[in-house]
Amino acid sequence: MDDPGNGGHAALVQLQAYLAQMDHAGETRLPAERELSESLGVSRGDLRKALAVLEKDGRIWRHVGRGTFVGSGPVEETIGISEIAGRTNPADVMRARLIIEPEIAREAALHATLSDIASMRQSLVQTREAVTWRQYENIDNLLHRQIAQASRNNVLLGLFDVLNAVRRTVVWGRLRSEGARPPADHHSFADHERIVEAIAERDLGGAAAAMRLHLQQVERRLIPVREAAE
């Protein structure tokens, strides 16, 4: 799969989750570009990058005058994500994250470059500036992927991408009761800063522990909300 860059990757993950939901519903045609970008909470430019990646991979196809459709070619990844998501739940996803992501953070502390750390710190600033939950979640997703990229391990990065796509599918559309945007004291702000600081300090154990603590806090907040909605 081609790399759409940091700007397009959040849109790609969102689009993959959306396609998996479409697969459950038996739908094949994507909404118009403007409608889809608004639904996913991404820019039209980033959406086009994501669509181009999926088209090149054979997972969608375009018909002039009719629209964009989910393809019938090499769609193994989308189908796999959909099938996994259909057999899992938020608790299973969080257990998997708790196994994998602390070790990814450990590897990032060992291998991250100064450029990697600068990108992470930029994302930290952007999470605090997010004006909607959707915008925050896109930047949060980007930060976690930046950490995975900094591990310099393509197997771990691939595992992260699949797990992240399943996570987005399982919790898609989850309602939040905390307001229109993250509050100023949102727990993830400080959690993320501790993770990035440990990575910058080459503190392998500290990075893993900070990521584990962050995910445990996310788990405590996510699971009750999800169960109450079901």
The predicted pLDDT at position 152 comes to: 95
The predicted pLDDT at position 103 comes to: 98
Q: What is the pLDDT of residues 13-24, one digit of tens each?
A: 888 888 877 754
Q: What is the pLDDT of residues 45-58, one digit of tens each?
A: 999 999 988 887 77
The predicted pLDDT at position 13 comes to: 87
User: Mean pLDDT throughout 94-107?
Assistant: 97
The predicted pLDDT at position 180 comes to: 83
User: Mean pLDDT throughout 107-112?
Assistant: 98
The predicted pLDDT at position 27 comes to: 57
Helix (H, G, I), strand (E, B) or coil at 193: helix
